[in-house]
Amino acid sequence: MSEAGELEALISQQVVVAMKAHDAERTGTLRLIKTALKNKAIDKRAPLTQAESEQVLATMIKQRRDSIEQFTKGNRPELAAKEASEIVVIEEFLPKALDEVALAALIQEAVGEVTAASGQKPGPKEMGAVMKAVQAKLQAKSVRAEGRVVSDLVKKALAG
């Protein structure tokens, strides 16, 4: 069984546990995850890889963060709180997020590699190359970081 298949099995198992615990909120969120993964597999017409499954979950988190922002602006704190609790459940099934200090060190490492490859310190124009190197390092270490945070830290590193 693939790692993505293991993830789906784990989520199914968690749905049962949440149902037995009468945790309606968690059950609902787990079902949303399961449905999103299933729909992506149907769209692809093949089982998802681990990376594709993680991308689906990361997208779900991003959607919820956007919703929280909108609900907060719309003065609907109860809906923002619901979205925040869904993020907590979804993050359980993703690799650990890297903290900013470790991420900054990883970015410096990537900048060093790009510098070595091109022979000169990269500037803002080489941001794409550095971002690609950072994403590859994140994937190799099986950790994740929010794209917006990575982008901001890369801009700072290249500007400085």
Domain span including residue 53: 3-91
CATH of the domain at 39: 1.10.1510.10
Domain stop point among 65, 91, 117 = 91
Q: Both 56 and 106 in a single domain? A: no
Q: Are 58 and 36 in contact (CB under 8 A)?
A: no
The pLDDT tens digits for 25-40 are: 999 999 999 999 999 9
Domain stop point among 33, 60, 91 = 91
Q: Would you say the pTM of this structure is higher than 0.85?
A: no
35 three-class SS: helix
Q: Both 30 and 84 in a single domain? A: yes
Q: Both 13 and 52 in a single domain? A: yes
Between CA 136 and CA 104, with CA 83 as vertex, the angle to 5 degrees is: 30
Q: Both 143 and 108 in a single domain? A: yes
Number of domains in the chain: 2
Q: Both 65 and 106 in a single domain? A: no
Domain stop point among 91, 123, 146 = 91
Q: Which residue has the higher pLDDT, 18 or 4?
A: 18
